[in-house]
């Protein structure tokens, strides 16, 4: 039995991780620490049987120290972050505050309780992104753990900075840390500002599908449940001080992702009764294809061309392998949004 602190556990990946861990480790207890920003949602973890939510900020070092002590917490899984690149372009300060200062504060609390205090066995697992490695050309090899950092957006620069702090706390103080750098996640409970839920819900509600540039930017898509398995493997088999790349094995240009979304939405209207009544503004409710909603918009400033993950190390050392194909994962995700309208409707102006 272990007690975990999951920061950002009311967000997309953190929330999925809480459900994943509860199902597989029912003897463990999870304390979720989340500031409930626009991206956090209590209802994401409502009903998780072995978790409770503390509304608070990772920058509150005193609160974190108290939680670690009073709840005998031996593992921190750190998801909390400002996570949307577009928001970092219009307002970088929140990214510096939460992603850099927040991670530093959390590390200080962990050091104070775990190293200066009772010296208990512990692990600090930090969730990072492949965006810290910068952008690849079409023929470049995929990012490995040895690829030099070259972040291009305020978001990725803030994540790179937090990765370096985590590494430094291991080398300087001996904190037992691991870091995972993952590719683009998708799946249930994702806030509808990110590509896949935004496009799924816009297609259902008959709104334009805004495509940046020529739509040929490439990302490696990772189903969130595969990501959770990768994090679990880092926690159980990862070596302190190491970093692991977690990929989805589904490198696709955005346009192919968008075409798959349109196709799956059209198919859903063919096969699921009542969708045309529920979503009368959707093109297939009116005998048209979802693709008519595709709209090209001005490209994101500094838009990275291609990300691709080489997860050979995680495969070899952690027996990690993504299990879901993109088509399967996307279909499951669409089904989840169709079945969980109560979760997303308040987030979307219909």
Q: By CB under 6 A, name the binding residues for ligand NAD.
A: 7-8, 10-14, 33-37, 39-40, 57-59, 79-81, 83, 98, 102, 127, 129, 159, 182, 184-185, 191
Minimal distance in Å, beta carbon 192 to ligand NAD? 11
Q: Are 30 and 51 in contact (CB under 8 A)?
A: yes
Minimal distance in Å, beta carbon 99 to ligand NAD? 7
Q: Is 130 marked active-site?
A: yes
Minimal distance in Å, beta carbon 71 to ligand NAD? 17
**Which residues face 220 on adjacent strands?**
251
Select 182 or 293, whichever has its Cβ closest to ligand NAD: 182
Q: Which of 88, 28, 97, 21 is nearest to 59 (CA)?
A: 97
The DSSP result for 212-263, as a single string, is: ETTS--EEEEEEHHHHHHHHHHHHHHPPTT-EEEE--S-EEEHHHHHHHHHH
Minimal distance in Å, beta carbon 284 to ligand NAD? 28
Select 10 or 314, whichever has its Cβ closest to ligand NAD: 10
Select 39 or 175, whichever has its Cβ closest to ligand NAD: 39
Active-site hit among 82, 130, 176, 266: 130
Q: Is 267 exposed, middle or buried (0-12, 13-18, 19+ CB in 10 A)?
A: middle
The DSSP result for 249-280, as a single string, is: S-EEEHHHHHHHHHHHHHHHHHHSTTHHHH-T
Instruction: State the maximum Cα–Cα separation within the chain, in Å, rounded to a whole number.
Output: 67
Minimal distance in Å, beta carbon 38 to ligand NAD? 8
Rounded to an integer, what distance in angstroms lies between the CA atom of residue 230 and that of residue 59?
27
Beta-carbon contacts of residue 215 (< 8 Å; ≥ 6 apart): 253, 254, 255, 258, 296
Select 102 or 284, whichever has its Cβ closest to ligand NAD: 102
Q: Residue 328 CA to chain centroid, in angstroms?
A: 19
Select 251 or 266, whichever has its Cβ closest to ligand NAD: 251
Rounded to an integer, what distance in angstroms lies between the CA atom of residue 248 and that of residue 300?
24
Which two structure tokens, joined as six digits, stand for 328? 């399967």
Rounded to an integer, what distance in angstroms lies between the CA atom of residue 144 and that of residue 55?
36
Phi-psi region of 320 (alpha: psi -120 to 50; beta: other; left: phi over 0): beta
Active-site hit among 20, 133, 155, 169: 155
> Which residue's Cβ has the minimum distance to ligand NAD?
11
Select 11 or 230, whichever has its Cβ closest to ligand NAD: 11
CA distances from 119 to 65, 95, 134, 226 (A): 14, 32, 37, 32
Select 185 or 260, whichever has its Cβ closest to ligand NAD: 185
Active-site hit among 34, 57, 82, 131: 131
Rounded to an integer, what distance in angstroms lies between the CA atom of residue 141 and that of residue 144?
9
Minimal distance in Å, beta carbon 287 to ligand NAD? 35
Minimal distance in Å, beta carbon 294 to ligand NAD? 22
- Which sequence positions are flagged as catalytic? 130-131, 155
């Amino acid at each position: 039995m272990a007690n975990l602190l999951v920061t950002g556990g009311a967000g997309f990946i953190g929330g999925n991780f809480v459900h994943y861990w509860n199902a597989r480790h029912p003897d463990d207890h999870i304390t979720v620490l989340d500031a409930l920003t626009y991206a956090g949602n209590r209802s994401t973890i409502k009903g998780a049987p072995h978790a409770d939510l503390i509304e608070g900020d990772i920058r509150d070092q005193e609160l974190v120290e108290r939680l670690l002590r009073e709840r005998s917490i031996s593992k921190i899984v750190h998801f909390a972050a400002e996570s949307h690149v577009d928001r970092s372009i219009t307002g970088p300060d929140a990214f510096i505050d939460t992603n850099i200062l927040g991670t530093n504060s959390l590390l200080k609390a962990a050091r104070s309780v775990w190293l200066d205090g009772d010296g208990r066995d512990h692990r600090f697992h930090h969730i990072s992104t492949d965006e810290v490695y910068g952008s690849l050309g079409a023929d470049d090899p995929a990012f490995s753990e040895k690829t030099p950092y070259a972040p291009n957006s305020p978001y990725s620069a803030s994540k790179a900075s937090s990765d370096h702090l985590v590494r430094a706390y291991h080398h300087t103080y001996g904190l037992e840390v691991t870091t995972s750098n993952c590719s683009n996640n998708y799946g249930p409970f994702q806030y509808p500002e990110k590509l896949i839920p935004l496009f799924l819900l816009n297609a259902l509600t008959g709104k334009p599908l805004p495509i940046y540039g020529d739509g040929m930017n490439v990302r490696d898509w990772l189903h969130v449940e595969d990501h959770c398995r990768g994090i679990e493997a880092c926690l159980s088999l990862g070596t302190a001080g190491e970093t692991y790349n977690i990929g989805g094995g589904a490198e696709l240009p955005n346009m192919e992702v968008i075409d798959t979304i349109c196709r799956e939405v059209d198919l859903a209207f063919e096969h699921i009764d009542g969708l045309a009544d529920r979503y009368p503004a959707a093109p297939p409710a009116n005998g048209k294809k979802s693709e008519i909603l595709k709209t090209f918009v001005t490209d994101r400033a500094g838009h990275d061309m291609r990300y691709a993950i080489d997860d050979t190390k995680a495969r070899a050392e952690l027996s990690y392998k993504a299990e879901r194909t993109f088509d399967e994962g996307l279909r499951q995700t669409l089904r989840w949004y169709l079945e969980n309208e109560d979760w997303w409707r308040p987030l979307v102006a219909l």
